Structure 1
Amino acid sequence: MADEKVYLEKSVETLENGSSLTPPVDHQTGSVQLLDSDHVVLVPTPSQDPKAHHISFRFLDPLNLPQWRKNAIVLIVALYSSFAVLATSGMGAIVTEVRAMYPPEDAVRVADLLTYPTLFMGIGNLLAMPLCVAIGRRPVFLASLIVLVASGIWCACSKSLSSHIAARDILSMAAGQSEALVAFMVQEVHFVHQRGRAAVWNASIQGVGMGAMFVATTYLVPAWGVRWWYGVITIVNGVLLIVAFFLVPETMYDRAVDSEVDRVVTITNHTLDSDRYGARTWKDDLKIFHFTPRWNETWIFYKVAGQSFCVPTIVWFLLLNGAFLGVYVFHSSTFAPVLLSPPYLFDFDFLGYVQLALIVATMIGLPILGYGSDWIIKLMSRMNKGVYQPEYRLFSLILPSIVAIVSCVIYGQAAQHPEKWSWTGIAIPYAAGNFAFMGANTVSITYVVDSWPAEAGPLLLIVAAGRGFISFGLSYATVPWVELDGYDGAMRTFAIICGVFALLGVPCYFFGKKMRVWSQKRFWPQSC
Structure 2
Amino acid sequence: MTLIKKEGPSQMDVVTATASVSDQDSTKDVSPATKDSHTSPADPTEAGLRLYDHGGMVLVPTPTSDPKDPLNLAVWHKCMIIFLVGSYSAFSVLGTSGLSAVYPSLIQAYPNESPARISDLLTYPTLFMGIGNLFSMPLCVTVGRRPVFLFSLLMLIVTGFWCAFSDSLGSHVAGRSFFSMAAGQSEALAPYIVEEVHFLHERSTKLSWFIGVQTVGTAAMFVATTYIVPSMGIKWWYLIITFVNVALLLLSYLFVVETKYERVEATDGAIVHLNFAEADDSRDSESGAVRNGLRLRPDIHGPRTWQHDLRLFHFKPVWSETFTFYKDTFKSLAIPSILWLLLLNGAFLGIYVYQASTFAQVLMSPPYLFKFAYLGWVQLVQILDCVLLVPVLGYGTDLLAKVMCRWRKGVFQPEYRLISMSIPGIAAVIGCVIYGQAAAHPTQWSWMGVVAPYHLGYFAFLGANLVSITYAIDSFPRKAGPVLLVICAGRGFISFGLSYSTVPLISKTGYDGAMNIFAIISGVLAGIAVPMYFLGTRFRLWAMQRLWPKLNQ
| TM-score of Structure 1 vs Structure 2, range by shorter chain | over 0.9
Structure 1 residues 184 and 5 mapped into 2: Cα distance closer, same or farther (>3 Å)? Answer: closer
What is the one-letter code of the residue matched to 2:319? W
Aligned CA RMSD, in angstroms, stands at 2.5
1:249 aligns with 2:266: no
Superposition TM-score, scaled by structure 1 size = 0.93
The question of whether the paired residues in 2 share the 8 Å contact of 1:391 and 1:512 is answered with: yes
Shift of 1:367: 3.0
Question: Does residue 225 of structure 1 match 2:222?
Answer: no
Partner of 2:536: 512
> C-alpha separation between the residues in 2 aligned to 1:395 and 1:259?
27
Shift of 1:32: 1.3
Q: Which amino acid aligns with 1:99?
A: I
2:97 is aligned, of 89, 98, 123, to: 89
Deviation at 1:263, TM superposition (A): 7.0
Change (3 A) 1:5 1:140: closer
Partner AA of 2:335 in structure 1: V
Question: What is the rounded CA distance, in whole Å, between the counterparts of 1:259 and 1:201 in structure 2?
Answer: 27
Counterpart residue number, 2:459? 435
Verify the 8 A CA contact 1:62 1:251 in the aligned structure 2. yes
Q: 1:453 to 1:417 in 2, by over 3 A?
A: same
2:106 paired with 1:98: yes
CA offsets per residue over residues 21-60 of structure 1, 9 Å max, x none? 6777879x98212111221111000111112xxxxxxxxx
Shift of 1:276: 4.3
Q: How far 1:253 sits from its partner (Å)?
A: 1.3
For 1:521, the equivalent position in structure 2 comes to: 545
Corresponding position of 1:377? 401
Partner of 2:244: 236
Structure 2 letter corresponding to 1:429: P
Structure 2 residue aligned with 1:502: 526
8 Å Cα contact 1:148-1:171 kept in structure 2: yes
Residue equivalent to 2:20: none
Alpha-carbon contact 1:142-1:241 (below 8 Å) kept: yes
Letter in 2 for 1:49: D
For 1:103-159, what per-residue CA distance to the aligned partner results, in whole angstroms no more than 9, with x for missing partners? 333432111111111000110000111001110000000000000000000000000
SS of 2:373's equivalent?
helix
1:36 equivalent in structure 2: 53
User: CA 1:259–1:233 in 2, change beyond 3 Å: closer, same or farther?
Assistant: closer
Indicate conservation of the 8 Å contact 1:126/1:465, yes or no.
yes
Answer whether contact 2:53 2:273 (CA < 8 A) is retained.
no
Matched, 1:125 2:149: no
Q: Deviation string for 1:482-505 (max 9, x for gaps)?
A: 000000000000000010001100
Please tell me whether the aligned partners of residues 163 and 175 of structure 2 are also in contact (alpha carbons under 8 angstroms): yes
Query: Contact 2:136–2:148 (CA<8 Å) still a contact in 1?
Result: yes
C-alpha distance in 1 between matches for 2:116 and 2:267: 60
1:271 is displaced (CA, Å) by 2.9
In 2, Cα distance between equivalents of 1:393 and 1:182: 21
| Contact kept? 2:71, 2:199, Cα under 8 Å | yes
Residue matched to 2:27: none
TM-score of the two chains, using structure 2 as the length reference: 0.88
Find the counterpart in structure 2 of residue 3 from structure 1. Answer: 9
* Partners of 1:157 and 1:335 in 2: CA distance: 30
Structure 1 residue 222 displacement after superposition: 1.3
Which residue pairs with 1:464 in the alignment?
488
Instruction: Give, in angstroms, the shift of residue 360 of structure 1.
Output: 1.4
**In 2, are the aligned partners of 1:48 and 1:272 still within 8 Å (CA)?**
yes
Partner Cα distance (2:143, 2:478) in 1:
16
Deviations 1:396-420 (A, max 9, x none): 1111111110000110000000001
* 1:281 CA displacement: 1.3
Three-state SS of the structure 2 residue aligned to 1:348 is: coil
What are the superposed Cα offsets for residues 365-415 of structure 1, whole Å, 9 maximum, x if unpaired?
333210000101111111111110000001111111111100001100000
C-alpha distance in structure 2 between counterparts of 1:382 and 1:63, whole Å? 25
Match of 1:48 in 2: 65
User: What is the aligned partner in structure 2 of residue 324 from structure 1?
Assistant: 348
Stretch deviating more after TM superposition (362-371 or 458-467): 362-371
SS at structure 2 position matched to 1:100: helix
Paired residues for 1:100-119 under 5 Å = 100-119=108-127
Partner in structure 2 of residue 139 of structure 1: 147
Gaps of 5+ in 2: 1-6, 18-30, 282-292
Give me the identity figure in percent. 52
Q: Which residue of 2 aligns with 1:14?
A: none
Amino acid at match of 1:264: L
Taking the aligned partners of 2:505 and 2:194, their CA distance within structure 1 comes to 37
Aligned counterpart, 2:370: 346
- The 2-side partners of 1:101 and 1:90 are apart by 16
| SS in structure 2 at match of 1:104 | coil
Aligned to 1:76: 84
Deviation larger for 261-270 or 244-253: 261-270
Q: Which amino acid aligns with 1:64?
A: N
> SS at 1:403's partner residue?
helix
Structure number with the higher helix fraction is 1
Q: Which of 187, 191, 205 pairs up with 2:195?
A: 187
Question: 3-state SS of the aligned residue for 1:264?
Answer: strand
1:57 match? none
Identify which of 164, 168, 171 aligns with 2:172: 164
Q: Secondary structure at the match of 1:448?
A: helix
Deviation at 1:273, TM superposition (A): 2.5
Aligned letter for 1:376?
L
What letter is aligned with 2:88? Y
Q: What amino acid maps onto 1:280 in structure 2?
A: R
User: How many correspondences in the alignment?
Assistant: 512
How big is each residue's C-alpha offset from its partner over 1:181-239, in whole Å with a ceiling of 9 and x where there is no partner?
11111111100001010111111111111111111111111111111111111111111
Equivalent residue, structure 2, for 1:310: 334
Say if 1:4 and 1:24, in contact at 8 Å, map to a contact too: no
Q: 1:67 is matched with which residue: 57, 75, 94?
A: 75
**What does residue 55 of structure 1 align with?**
none
Distance apart, 1:3 and its partner CA = 3.5
Amino acid of the structure 2 residue aligned with 1:476: Y
Structure 2 CA distance for aligned equivalents of residues 92 and 30 of structure 1:
47
Structure 2 match to 1:453: 477
Distance in 1 (alpha carbons) for counterparts of 2:363 and 2:231: 22
With over 3 angstroms needed to count, the CA separation of the structure-2 counterparts of 1:272 and 1:19, relative to structure 1, is: same
Instruction: Judging by fraction of residues, say which structure has more strand.
Output: 2
Q: Single out whichever of 61-70 and 99-108 deviates more from structure 2.
A: 99-108
Residue 309 of structure 1, CA deviation:
1.2
Quick check: 1:493 aligned with 2:517?
yes
